[in-house]
Structure 1
């Protein structure tokens, strides 16, 4: 059996600089050495995200006519915008949930969780920086800055924009699947945070009238289906962590 190739530190750095998708994996996937692995849960988390996107596409294509290539582009833009809104809600919710988790812990483990939380904060800042690079490269309000840097600067900004776009799009997907790598803090944080996030998004969709072109019954099932499904998955994930890996909330908080 052939062993996987082990990259040197220099090779990893080169790949990080030139491959935005590899960089996103390094930034947004949990990587704590003693992280409890559960491949089945990780696969279900991925499929949950993919099925949610597929359900959105089917619902939109069913109740919103697509007659041209521009309509397809608008649908893709709408989906990316919705994913970005989910990330923004997650960014706002993350410090609250993590703060409560850390505040409820006792003893020296509190400092350990605070130190681990820096990776999640770093993932948030990296995504914001990528989006800011994209803004600098394309929005009309920064045209004066682009004129100031001249042609070489515009070329550099263009290259950075392409890199940042790949990094951000893939990073948004990884952030939603891995909940901004909060498993690096503790394995029980992602299911709790994901549950809070999805109920917030459902409430936001209901109050803002999202999917208003969809019949009320179908809209209610679609909007409420996501939080119910994620909640069930999160409860099952917590059960597996307790049943097979002996991880409990009381043990995590040292209570």
Structure 2
């Protein structure tokens, strides 16, 4: 499986700069060195989250590029519509409210997945023929492993901060103590980045529930969008536009999920009860 793209290493970025220009850019790089360190930590955490939650996950029984492209198109279309409504009808307060709502949705989605996924998978296993149920229950090991790793990435954050407080490397004098403090802070920041990327990854993959049933991601997405719409309330904008977004989001996701399930049945022979 290829590594995720889009985040080049710092060395590759530096090598792209002509040597003559690098001499003049060196003071600027030193000035922005804290941001470069944060970039390196975020990139490392992103790669770690990919290795832990994507590379080691069980492969999905059905890989359809068309369905993957439509999911990405649906996501970007929702983002574009939100930006367009804010640009036409919104103000700075609405922008802040929309950003806050997106952060709340990102924070809530993994926990809603943890609550909703057992219900969806339980219904699918119950509807399956008796001969198929043992294999589906055995495939639950992958999602359960992903769930355990996610809780591990969450527990790492307070554990490292607590360990830093107990060790208190600032008591070590001299330059060694300063280096230990900086290294400890860098490790704690890295753990926060790891949890954030882990949360984004499990939201995208649904803890690998496709290994249990290929239609599980589509059904789970419908449930999650409905739950987020009920929790989030009316979006920003005029009342008519807000109600269109409130109803249109779950409706379009449900229509796309219906199309995915129908495509799985007609193209790959996958049935909800099969």
| TM-score in terms of structure 1 length | 0.72
Distance 1:34 1:65, change over 3 A: closer
- Superposed CA RMSD in Å reads 3.4
Task: Report matched runs for 1:67-78 at 5 Å.
Answer: 76=99, 78=101
| Corresponding position: 1:37 with 2:63 | yes
Out of 1, 13, 25, the position equivalent to 2:50 is 25
2: CA distance, partners of 1:131 / 1:73: 27
How many residue pairs match? The answer is: 225
What's 1:130 paired with?
A: 153
Larger Rg: 2
| CA shift for structure 1 position 103 | 3.0
CA offsets per residue over residues 86-112 of structure 1, 9 Å max, x none? 222122111111122223334353232
Distance 1:97 1:157, change over 3 A: farther
Task: Report matched runs for 1:94-109 at 5 Å.
Answer: 94-109=117-132
2: CA distance, partners of 1:196 / 1:114: 21
| CA shift for structure 1 position 201 | 1.6
1: CA distance, partners of 2:188 / 2:109: 22
| CA shift for structure 1 position 224 | 1.6
CA offsets per residue over residues 26-54 of structure 1, 9 Å max, x none? 44448535722201101212232333344
Out of 164, 189, 198, the position equivalent to 2:216 is 189
| Corresponding position: 1:171 with 2:179 | no
8 A contact 1:45–1:177 mirrored in 2: no
CA offsets per residue over residues 202-243 of structure 1, 9 Å max, x none? 22223xxx53x5322111111222111111111111111111
Which stretches in structure 2 are left out of the alignment for 5+ residues? Answer: 4-42, 170-176
Task: Report matched runs for 1:108-119 at 5 Å.
Answer: 108-119=131-142
8 A contact 1:133–1:160 mirrored in 2: no
Which stretches in structure 1 are left out of the alignment for 5+ residues? Answer: 7-17
| CA shift for structure 1 position 245 | 0.8
8 A contact 1:49–1:176 mirrored in 2: no
| TM-score in terms of structure 2 length | 0.67
Q: Secondary structure at the match of 1:187?
A: coil
2: CA distance, partners of 1:43 / 1:88: 26
